[in-house]
Each structure stands twice: as structure tokens, then as C-alpha cells.
Amino acid sequence: MGKLQDQALLKHSSYWQGNWQSAERSFNVTNPANGEIIGTVADATAADAEKAVAAADTALSDWAARPAAERAKFLMRWQQLMLQHQDDLGLLLTLEQGKPLAEAKGEIAYGASYLEWFAEEAKRVYGDTIPAKSNDQRIIVIKQPVGVVAAITPWNFPNAMIARKAAAALAAGCTFVVKPAQLTPLSALAMAELADRAGIPAGVFNVVVSTDAKAIGKVLTEDPRVAKFSFTGSTKIGKQLAKQCAGTVKRVSLELGGNAPFLVFADADLDAAVDGLMASKFRNAGQTCVCTNRVLVAENVLDEFTTKLQQAISKLKIGDGTYDEVDIGPLINTEACTKVDELISTAVTQGAQLKCGGKRQSDNSLFYLPTVLSKVTNQMDIAQQEIFGPVVALQSFSDETQAIQLANATEFGLAAYFYSRDIGRIWRVAEALQYGMVGINEGMVSNPTAPFGGVKQSGYGREGSKYGLDDYMDIKYLCLGGLDK
């Protein structure tokens, strides 16, 4: 780790109450590109998580009472520090997560953009007045922070998934405790170091790193001092954690798995569609919840589209994310590779055709070759489960009705994409798709001005946009009576 310009960004333990906290045991963080150990981190326990929650609880009243403009200033200082250290934070992220450096730095800027956005939104938490039924009363609505927020985040966006929750929570006046994924704790700890440097008061932003996700999760979902729980991760774990939250009736936001369809209609600009698909499929080696999972192409343009797509794929450079011009880094671990292998081999047994890729670069590496499978059907596992790898699974459709029916035939509803140049069709299909987000002639939809989130079993709650603070605020209705003389 000699390459960091600011070595103090490499931290080795959890952070709460404004202090770095030791633990009895520790665990290693490894680089998926080569298996090297890049850091050793203290392994927090459930008792530690309780202490972090206590710190957030103690800090709450002071933080919530500050004027929004003051909280905004802290967020802006934090944002500026993240951008100042973008190179180091990006490198750290590539080393622990694997994505190419340019993407990693992009994630830092993306994470920082949520801090900026919510610093601004903090100043616009408007209430309301409602005409009362009698002259004797006035009805007023105010918004207040929900309280202590706990979050659990995944490894695929080690910075941004924390930034976009913490930014909204802190802007709203809540204090925050996060358990990052154990595979990528270093980015989270570097964020805590910068929060500290930004002067964010002790106990407002806390990070608990641990290998015991279950035990920490139990505290964060069951402790009565936590008012709101926000989770990004798999649908299976999200459902479990939502149940755990029921005991104390916490507010819950869930951003879970997706099964994004990417529809290419016959009237589409096929070159633009290929570009959009490349961006939405291969970003982070296919390991994002909004990555295209199923590609549905009008049957009369399927051959032409497939040829163009394979040309684009043949140009992808796969390798260690710290090397120049790499487009695709390693998958996160061996289990991820095995899962992709199994989905592909099962699909081939069921009649899909492997056109390229279908295996790792070499047996022991985690670099998975960009893969194209044709003749996939919606019933196959590969079309129903999140692939989380660089695999294009091609299906075809005969008309718009069938395209929509296939696109919606999943329990998930996070992101969908489609390409068409017909304005009537664009409107019809956009309304018919049962998804929280729809990219229309666009393969990348995430940005802080827009509400990110899903429907169906992809979860609920929205991150970013003018709606993003709602998840962290309670509405309080004040009825002012006795006004008659």
C-alpha cells in the first residue's frame, strides 16, 4: 500500500464516538486481482455495535438541533475532502474491490455528489400549512429527523452506497451507524477519517467493521435506539433484516436485487443501443444491482445487433484495475465466479448457445471473460437470477406486447432499459414497465438528482433527489386550537 499519497487514509479499526476503536481479533482485506493482503482490520463485535449505536444516540439531540445550514457546511467540507483525496480513495477502492481505477475514481465523485446534493437539500426541508375545518384552528405540518439511522451496505460500491445514505441522514439531522461489507471495509474507514477531518462532531458518523454480519445486523435492526434501518444488498438478506426490524417497528428502506431487462426494439438506433448496453452491462464487471441482466432484442434485428455487440465486446480489456485502460477487473471472489459458471453451464444444458467467453481467464484467477449467450429463455435460471458477472444473456421477442410481458416476468423491479425511436412506443413501454427506474435510450441512470430505488421485491425507499430526505424524516402534524376570541 505504498502508493497512497496520504497514508493516514488507510485505517485499521472501527470508528465511533469520534475515536478509532480497537478489538481483540482482526481480519485481512485482500485484493481480488491478485489475492494479496492489503490491510488488516480490527473485527468488531455485537457489543461494539451497541457502543456505536449509543454514540449515535448521544450525539443525536445536538446534531438535530443545529440549523440545516450548519449541517450543510459539514457535509460540504466532507465532500471537498473526498474530492481532494479522490485519487487515494479511488486506489483504495480498486485495491479492495477490483473495479478499474477510472471507475473507482468515478465512484468517489459519485459518492461525493450525494454529499453536495443533500447539503443543498437540507436547506429546503419545507413544512406545510393546511386549511383547517374551523376558524378556531390552524393545521401545520413540520418535518423532523427520524433519529438514529443504522445502515448495512454491500461490497460493489464501497464508497457510494455509504455516501448516499449518510448524506441524506446527516442532512436531515439524523446520526448514523454503518456496517460496510467485510470484503471492502477500507473505503468506509477512509470516509470516516475524512468525516473526522471535516469536523463532523463525534458520534454523528460511525463505522463498525466486522466479519460477524449477523451479530452486528441483529444489533442494528433490533436496538430500540435505532429509529430507521437502511439496507443495500441481496433480496434474501434484506427480507430477513426487514423482519428483524418489525420487532421495534423501525422505518426501513431496502435497495435489493434487480433483474434488469434491456429491450432493443426494431426501430432503435442499434449503435446507440450497443453503447448503452456496454455501459449498463459491463460496469464493475457486471456486479451492480442495476446492471442489465437480460437482453431482449426484436427478432428481426437480432443478428445485426449481436454482430455489433460482439465487435464491441472484443475490444474490452480485462485485467488488474490499477493498470491503464482496463475495462473489466476481477469478480469479487471465487464464489462469484462459481455462480457465474453454474448459471452459464445450466443455461447451455437447457438450450442456450455460448458465443464467446464462458470461463475465467485462467483457472485460479477471478478474471471472468466477457461472455455472450444466445437463445436464452426467460424460464432459465440465468434470466431469473442476478448474474453479477460480465455475461450478456440474449433473448428475442416478436412484438411490443411480448417484449413488455417478458420484461415484467420477474419478481424484481429495480432498473429497466429500452431503446426505441418511436415516441408513442417510448411512452407506452415506459409506463408499462414495472420498475422503479427506466433508462430510455440511456444505459446509465444513477445520479444524485434522481430518485434511485425499486418496486416489487427490489425494495422500497428512494435515495437521491428531492424525495431522498423523506426516508429520513418524520412528518409531524400540529393542530393549533383555541384561536377564537
Q: Choose which of 3, 214, 466, 476 interacts with ligand ADP (CB under 6 A).
A: 214
CB of 480 to ligand ADP, least distance (A): 44
Which residues lie closer than 8 Å to 438 by C-beta, 6 or more apart?
415, 416, 417, 418, 430, 445
CB of 387 to ligand ADP, least distance (A): 12
- Catalytic choice (245, 289, 291, 337): 289
Nearest to 440 by CA among 455, 422, 420, 423: 420
Q: Choose which of 203, 217, 459, 464 interacts with ligand ADP (CB under 6 A).
A: 217
Per-residue buried b or exposed e for 268-288, using 16+ beta carbons within 10 Å of the residue's own CB: bebeebbebbbbbbbbbbbbb
- 64 is a site residue for ligand ADP (CB under 6 A): no
What whole-number distance in Å separates Cα of residue 191 and Cα of residue 164? 12
Closest to ligand ADP by CB, 177 vs 263, is 177
Q: Choose which of 19, 182, 384, 434 interacts with ligand ADP (CB under 6 A).
A: 182
- For helices 270-282 and 302-314, the axis angle rounded to 10 degrees is 50
Told to judge if 255 belongs to the known catalytic residues of this protein, a careful annotator would answer yes
Closest to ligand ADP by CB, 145 vs 154, is 154
Give the interface segment with ligand ADP, choosing from 65-73, 175-183, 189-197, 365-373 (CB under 6 A). Answer: 175-183
Residue 268 C-alpha cell reads as 432503435
- Interface characters, 228-257, with ligand ADP (x: CB under 6 A): -----xx--x--xx----------------
Told to judge if 299 belongs to the known catalytic residues of this protein, a careful annotator would answer no
- In this structure, are residues 352 and 371 in contact, taking their beta carbons and an 8 Å threshold? no
Which residues lie closer than 8 Å to 201 by C-beta, 6 or more apart?
18, 59, 62, 63
- In this structure, are residues 272 and 419 in contact, taking their beta carbons and an 8 Å threshold? yes
- 211 is a site residue for ligand ADP (CB under 6 A): no
Q: Choose which of 23, 149, 152, 166 interacts with ligand ADP (CB under 6 A).
A: 152
- 213 is a site residue for ligand ADP (CB under 6 A): yes
- 32 is a site residue for ligand ADP (CB under 6 A): no
- 154 is a site residue for ligand ADP (CB under 6 A): yes
Which residue type does 212 have? Answer: D
Using CB under 6 A, count the residues that bind ligand ADP: 14
- 385 is a site residue for ligand ADP (CB under 6 A): no
Which residue type does 16 have? Answer: W
- 181 is a site residue for ligand ADP (CB under 6 A): yes
Give the interface segment with ligand ADP, choosing from 146-154, 191-199, 422-430, 477-485 (CB under 6 A). Answer: 146-154
Order of all β-strands in the sheet with 391-397 = 353-356, 371-374, 391-397, 292-298, 260-264, 415-419, 437-440
Decide: residue 482, CB within 10 A, 0-12 exposed, 13-18 middle, 19+ buried: exposed
Nearest to 241 by CA among 208, 271, 217, 225: 217
CB of 233 to ligand ADP, least distance (A): 3
The residues assigned a catalytic role are: 255, 289
- State the residues that interact with ligand ADP by CB under 6 A: 152-154, 179, 181-182, 213-214, 217, 233-234, 237, 240-241
